[in-house]
Chain A
């Protein structure tokens, strides 16, 4: 069974559209993350949820809205897509609890291309 899964794997869409990327983890972890990897492979955190509560929001445009229906899922909705949103988006999870540091487990990534 895949530990952290994302759908879709590839997403091609036009500017101005709204799209969603879904993430699910079956590891029983409390915390989930979204990262963006740009064309130069640079990775930067976007959001983190702990038990369905937002705990990290790294100055991401408000066109990006994460939603966590339960602690096993963290979806990313993007409104009014722009060319600069083209990137690979990675979901991750960790067993993190306050005061601890744990490794993160990454999904396979969703390659978003905005034309």
Chain B
């Protein structure tokens, strides 16, 4: 079945540091890939997405590229801010599965001054 593996957290960075959160997946079809973010006490918000190989999703300075050859969708940001502190979820949606999302375990990011 489908699965998503994310790096263990928490990740603690100083403000303006470079961020990478690794995500790899296994899927039976050709999935769409997503990053969702959950700020403390809130629901999930879509951060970015990519629907086919080599697509790059980007939003708010975050980027991720759909790499079919390595089955990866790593999240990056060049300079993090304290306001980026949240839990980040990598997810996939496989065609034919009624668009259900399969999530990774989430990675908590803590950014300090």
Write the residues of chain A forming the contact surface with B, with a CB cutoff of 8 angstroms: 4, 31, 33, 35, 40-45, 48, 50, 55-56, 58, 90, 92, 94, 96, 99-109
Contacts and interface: CB of A to CB of B under 8 A. Distances in A.
A94 B99 CA distance: 9
A96 B99 contact: yes
Contacts of A42: 103, 105-106
Task: Sort chain B's interface into a size bin.
Answer: 20 to 34
B22 interface: no
A43 B89 contact: yes
Interface of B: 31-32, 34, 36, 38, 42-46, 49, 51, 87, 89, 93, 95, 97-103, 105-106, 108
17 contacts: A4-B43, A41-B87, A42-B105, A43-B44, A43-B103, A55-B98, A56-B98, A58-B100, A96-B98, A100-B99, A101-B32, A101-B95, A104-B46, A104-B99, A104-B101, A105-B46, A108-B43
Contacts of B34: 103
A48 B106 contact: no
Contacts of B101: 33, 35, 43, 45, 104
A95 to B, nearest CB: 9
A84 B45 CA distance: 26
A50 B97 CA distance: 12
Nearest to B49: A103
